[in-house]
Structure 1
């Protein structure tokens, strides 16, 4: 674990950097759904960020989105390329999972193109049709719709 970084809840002052990571990050092209400023401000309380302690630079972000009773989604996980390989993605997901338990949400899923990463965290592949229809509302805004290539994975806490 890299102790030069801290994971915390996102703040208003983080939104511009989060937006840039989710929208303008070429190494993430097609891996995360871009979010508008409006959406980020509206969903800010869902987000965690990881910040380099010395510089205050935002290294990554991730959100826990409540979907339904006992069901939440880990989404918008991004770690900037220059900060990868330090366990920061895992720390962001762990923060989301900890919050899920606090909120009594015991099933957490992810839609991903990187199933290996989430498998290491205990997520297991599930058929997409086990997820409630409400989950698919964001799909309409995805550039890949209707030809989704993401894999649904679930973790029971």
Structure 2
């Protein structure tokens, strides 16, 4: 079941995101960060457990970022990520976002979903403020992609 995240989901979302962050696949999230941005997130819940999450963070006028996109290991390649992304895109439209971008080490998934690779210099500088929190900074290997929605 895909739904908006609730405050009671924060600990499970944090554990999921940070399991990937510990491998350098995404930025870690603190409890504070998740509590203050919980309205940005959608989750996939199965049997009372969070098995996937994805957030859309508005960054600039009509531009939002896909953030903290994760599905539990062993449940990838089952359509959960696609459902989460579609729900987030629908939600992004409701607040007036017309474009979404993602910084990812797994660009193939997003390319299959209609995102196009761009040079990171095309994104507003404000977006790179989070980069200093990444374990790979300043040697970033993420790919920047964008999609009109």
Asked if these proteins are the same fold (TM beyond 0.5), I'd say yes
- 2:45 and 2:25 map into 1 onto residues whose CA distance is 21
- Of the candidates 15, 21, 32, which is equivalent to residue 26 of structure 2? 32
Cα deviation for residue 36 of structure 1 reads 0.6
Query: Normalising to structure 1: TM-score of the pair?
Result: 0.91
- Of the candidates 63, 66, 83, which is equivalent to residue 74 of structure 1? 66
Describe the superposition over 1:75-99 as per-residue Cα deviations: whole angstroms up to 9, x where unpaired. 1000001211210011111111111
- 1:51 and 1:29 map into 2 onto residues whose CA distance is 24
Aligned to 1:95: 87
- 1:37 and 1:14 map into 2 onto residues whose CA distance is 11
Question: Contact 2:20–2:26 (CA<8 Å) still a contact in 1?
Answer: no
* 4+ long deviations beyond 2 Å: none
Aligned to 1:118: 110
Cα deviation for residue 25 of structure 1 reads 4.5
Aligned to 1:19: 14
Q: Give the length in aligned residue pairs.
A: 149
- Of the candidates 53, 58, 63, which is equivalent to residue 61 of structure 1? 53
- 1:101 and 1:45 map into 2 onto residues whose CA distance is 14
Describe the superposition over 1:29-64 as per-residue Cα deviations: whole angstroms up to 9, x where unpaired. 211111011111111111110011xx2111010100
SS at match of 1:154: strand
Q: Where do 5+ consecutive residues of structure 2 fail to align?
A: none
Query: Normalising to structure 2: TM-score of the pair?
Result: 0.96
Describe the superposition over 1:2-32 as per-residue Cα deviations: whole angstroms up to 9, x where unpaired. xxxx110111111110111111348x72111
Q: Where do 5+ consecutive residues of structure 1 fail to align?
A: 1-5
Aligned to 1:3: none
